[in-house]
Amino acid sequence: DADVTQTPRNRITKTGKRIMLECSQTKGHDRMYWYRQDPGLGLRLIYYSFDVKDINKGEISDGYSVSRQAQAKFSLSLESAIPNQTALYFCATSDSGQPGKGYEQYFGPGTRLTVT
Amino acid sequence: DQQVKQNSPSLSVQEGRISILNCDYTNSMFDYFLWYKKYPAEGPTFLISISSIKDKNEDGRFTVFLNKSAKHLSLHIVPSQPGDSAVYFCAASDGNMLTFGGGTRLMVKP
């Protein structure tokens, strides 16, 4: 079974709709992240959370919100989707308590979102 | 302005030869560097890393070199295999977050 899961894997939605992407992990990690991938731009950080009560904006948070419902769950919402939010979205986790390994992030399989 | 850059969007090499992927960074606060590999329809997976106190780290066919004065790192794959065909991302850490480069698509031809 996958350690980091994302639902849905694919989603097509219309401009103006609210959409939620969900991420769950069984790795027991405390830190979770949301990224989007666009061609040629790599992965850009949207939001991150270092524990359940800690939420921080990343490089490109405008138009997005997040919720850390539990240590294992971190959801990303697009309040009113627009076409330039069409992208691949990845959730990732890391373990701050692992000496020398805290930098490594483990990624889910991604959600392909299309906004028409 | 991108703090981590991979200037070659694609690279094609013959099976058995060396693949060299390059990455440049601008932020002197980065203290740890990582390479990730990504296949289509999958998330990136960790490949190899290096601390800023080292200049080389080797793991099997994969070696990462760090030149701090030039703010440059490279990933060497020897020998290259068709299964290495993927997109490779370099990433740099400031202790909390990772900043990723734009990726290089490696194609290894049989």
Helix (H, G, I), strand (E, B) or coil at B101: coil
Q: Is A115:A88 a contact under the CB 8 Å cutoff?
A: no
Closest-CA distance, B98 to chain A, in angstroms, reads: 8
Give residue A97's pLDDT. Answer: 73
Residues of chain B with pLDDT under 70: none
d(CA B18, CA B15): 8
- CB < 8 Å from B in window 36-55 of A: 40-45, 48, 50
d(CA A34, CA B30): 21
Question: What DSSP line would sit under chain A, residue for residue?
Answer: --SEEEE-SEEEE-TT--EEEEEEE-S--SEEEEEEEETTTEEEEEEEEEETTEEEE-TT-TTEEEEEEETTEEEEEESS--GGG-EEEEEEEE-TTSTTTTT--EE---EEEEE-
> Does A107 sit within 8 Å of B32, measured CB to CB?
no
Helix (H, G, I), strand (E, B) or coil at B82: helix
Q: Is B79:B15 a contact under the CB 8 Å cutoff?
A: yes
Give residue A96's pLDDT. Answer: 83
Confidence band (pLDDT; 50, 70, 90) for A42? confident
Maximum pairwise Cα distance, chain B: 41
Looking only at the bridges linking them, the beta strands covering B86-93 and B32-38 are antiparallel
Kindly state the percentage of chain A with pLDDT values over 70: 94
Closest-CA distance, A20 to chain B, in angstroms, reads: 19
Give residue A102's pLDDT. Answer: 64
pLDDT, averaged across chain A: 93
Provide the β-strand partners of residue A107.
Answer: A92
Confidence band (pLDDT; 50, 70, 90) for A8? very high
Give residue A1's pLDDT. Answer: 57
A56-111 pLDDT, tens digit per residue, is 999 999 999 999 999 999 999 999 999 999 999 999 999 887 666 667 899 999 99
- Give yes or no for residue A2 having a pLDDT over 90: no
- Give yes or no for residue A35 having a pLDDT over 90: yes
> Does A90 sit within 8 Å of B44, measured CB to CB?
yes
Of B32, B93, B101, the CB nearest to A42: B101
Residues of A whose CB is below 8 A from B44: 43, 90, 107
Within a 13 Å sphere around the CA of B33, how many CA atoms are in the beta-carbon half? 33
Q: Residue B81: which residues within 8 A CB-CB, separation 6 or more?
A: B15, B61, B108
